[in-house]
Structure 1
């Protein structure tokens, strides 16, 4: 990657190879042309799977430690569907079906930002990946030094904001500026959009989650003192809600954010050079996390080159894609990012590049 022309040629080579493999896979498996039906079927099966595992737990058929990971896996499919929906890969001409699927994505994954708000954030991420205005990735700790603080923020959106209020304020400002608002009213609209992103489901999730954690911390203290609290019917309900609805997403979000925030580069990259935006992060020891984010670390870099592949097609093209990506400068398993705070080069030499339109 010694010149801009060479970088452009490498990107073009990778894109062409991925698209060719995608066409080969689609030609081999004719049913893949029924994209809307496949998306709807995956959604229906995933929602049904979450309901069934929750019902089995409530009925006493399975323990919590089976229900939570089982539901988290179903929720990971739904996350991939949301990502595809953001890129309008399903029901492009059927707004009712499209928005119904978007709503189901949020209902089943209440800890996340509204998918309608995330759509703008994610499309911006593709345009300005790794810059100060990349609000989607900065929100999940990309660019932070590793330590206990980042670990706590990785799986908790609220802590990610509360522990970095000044940084998040500056990132939101950079994000809004990059949207090129043409009036004060448009700026206010963008600010309100960000504030509405957590209303109402995300706020409900965190109110119940923090209440659950707080109650059980107090109960543990009383039990240690030899005066255990009496069983509460209300808390029994809350415990069930946490196991079947909230905890699966806490597990899924932590795994996804850990993988995603460590595979994206930040600060000292040429954001127009897709080769520098992501690495492929797929070591054997990361498989427990990959299980709950649908092999994100191995496949998301492919998406940065070709965005119009459904997630299941991306999985089918991964082996061929990895060959051409490795040959053209995409990094694989660059563990140094953990010490470089996601910088491409040395942390001390890195200067974040503010996105400009």
Structure 2
């Protein structure tokens, strides 16, 4: 099927969504027939994870030994970490080792270690599966927590790339102390232990170097203790090899994802309205560190069980039929509409501060 045999004018949204699924799934079948190695899904998932982890460890070793510039290591590891995000997303949908819990959970743990900025992936599974049920609504906590539906301003800019700042601002917005404490408790629960260490070290890194910079400008350098300098040496290395890459990856992913999903005036269950394809040329620096998410994640809403590398391979066919069936492409007005599908009379929406969910 080439995606042109059906007339969208004669179809409702459910029929158009079904047509997109049919075309994209057929292309996936064709690819697997043409390339039988694609049938080995478990091995491919494990192999991609091994490649990403080996690459991150290898680049870290090269940086530590002085054989690689810090910025090369940071950018390379941000890209490799984006691979592990795609793997985690597939694992959440049980695409690898579905009936073998030990290797499945081992992969879940390893992708979490590669991205310590994120919440517990077993907790995220519940949030993400709920996302598919209620995408575009107030109860879609996964997207709401990464600023989907938030009007653009200083608050959203601070929140979109900083998980702790996002939780902190939601806590400030809570009306009662009981509500604030619930947000704090939930945040500590979902971020423990890796994200608390990650973001804590990030703030120590920023604070230490900001203090040194200010002191230098004032002409009064700080005499840090030997112990402090030893700790900071470790944190400085971590900032290049794991912390910085994940801060960059987080910003790119959350910026792209929160703006390619629509919010507020989406008809419940209408997949056509849930996302757009967001892939202009000028967003490639962002796409590079979230593995082309803006171009391919919308495909996932139609074909949930296709792994991320298949979505990349079917994108050309998928985009053609999605455009024919009315899915939007590069709707930049979303930035001014706080991600509404259409202009709203009251466009302001604030994150529900009761939940925390970060990728």
2: CA distance, partners of 1:347 / 1:166:
26
Candidates 328, 333, 338, aligned match of 2:330: 333
- Cα gap change, 1:147 to 1:85, in 2 (>3 Å): same
1: CA distance, partners of 2:312 / 2:173:
35
Query: Shift of residue 255 of structure 1?
Result: 0.4
Which residues of 2 match residues 137-156 of structure 1 at below 5 A?
137-156=143-162
- Cα gap change, 1:194 to 1:150, in 2 (>3 Å): closer
Candidates 215, 231, 240, aligned match of 1:222: 215
Which residues of 2 match residues 205-220 of structure 1 at below 5 A?
205-220=198-213
2: CA distance, partners of 1:67 / 1:346:
43
Candidates 304, 311, 314, aligned match of 1:314: 311
| TM-score in terms of structure 2 length | 0.89
1: CA distance, partners of 2:290 / 2:141:
20
Q: Which residue of 2 aligns with 1:196?
A: 189
* Deviation string, structure 1 residues 212-252 (Cα, Å, up to 9, x no partner): 11111111111111123357222111100111111100000
Query: Shift of residue 207 of structure 1?
Result: 1.1
2: CA distance, partners of 1:166 / 1:216:
27
8 Å contact 1:21–1:320 — kept in the other structure? yes
2: CA distance, partners of 1:348 / 1:113:
35
8 Å contact 1:280–1:301 — kept in the other structure? yes
Q: Is 2:62 aligned against 1:56?
A: yes
2: CA distance, partners of 1:266 / 1:166:
23
Candidates 334, 345, 348, aligned match of 1:348: 345
2: CA distance, partners of 1:192 / 1:239:
30
Q: Which residue of 2 aligns with 1:34?
A: 40
- Cα gap change, 1:155 to 1:275, in 2 (>3 Å): same
Q: Which residue of 1 aligns with 2:98?
A: 92
Which residues of 2 match residues 1-357 of structure 1 at below 5 A?
6-165=12-171, 195-230=188-223, 232-348=229-345
Query: Shift of residue 350 of structure 1?
Result: 6.0
2: CA distance, partners of 1:47 / 1:244:
12
Unaligned runs of 5+ in 1: 174-187, 353-357
- Cα gap change, 1:225 to 1:193, in 2 (>3 Å): closer
Kindly report the root-mean-square deviation, in angstroms, between the aligned alpha carbons of the 2 structures.
2.6
2: CA distance, partners of 1:230 / 1:55:
30
2: CA distance, partners of 1:278 / 1:104:
29
* Deviation string, structure 1 residues 130-176 (Cα, Å, up to 9, x no partner): 11111100110000011122111111111111112276899xx9xxx
Query: Shift of residue 57 of structure 1?
Result: 0.9
2: CA distance, partners of 1:226 / 1:195:
39
1: CA distance, partners of 2:348 / 2:157:
23
2: CA distance, partners of 1:333 / 1:344:
13
Query: Shift of residue 344 of structure 1?
Result: 0.4
- Cα gap change, 1:114 to 1:316, in 2 (>3 Å): same
8 Å contact 1:146–1:339 — kept in the other structure? yes
1: CA distance, partners of 2:300 / 2:247:
24
Secondary structure of the 1:9 match is helix
Query: Shift of residue 196 of structure 1?
Result: 2.1
8 Å contact 1:267–1:351 — kept in the other structure? no
Q: Which residue of 1 aligns with 2:4?
A: none
8 Å contact 1:267–1:350 — kept in the other structure? no
The number of residues matched between the two structures is 337
Secondary structure of the 2:329 match is coil
1: CA distance, partners of 2:118 / 2:99:
26
Query: Shift of residue 64 of structure 1?
Result: 1.2
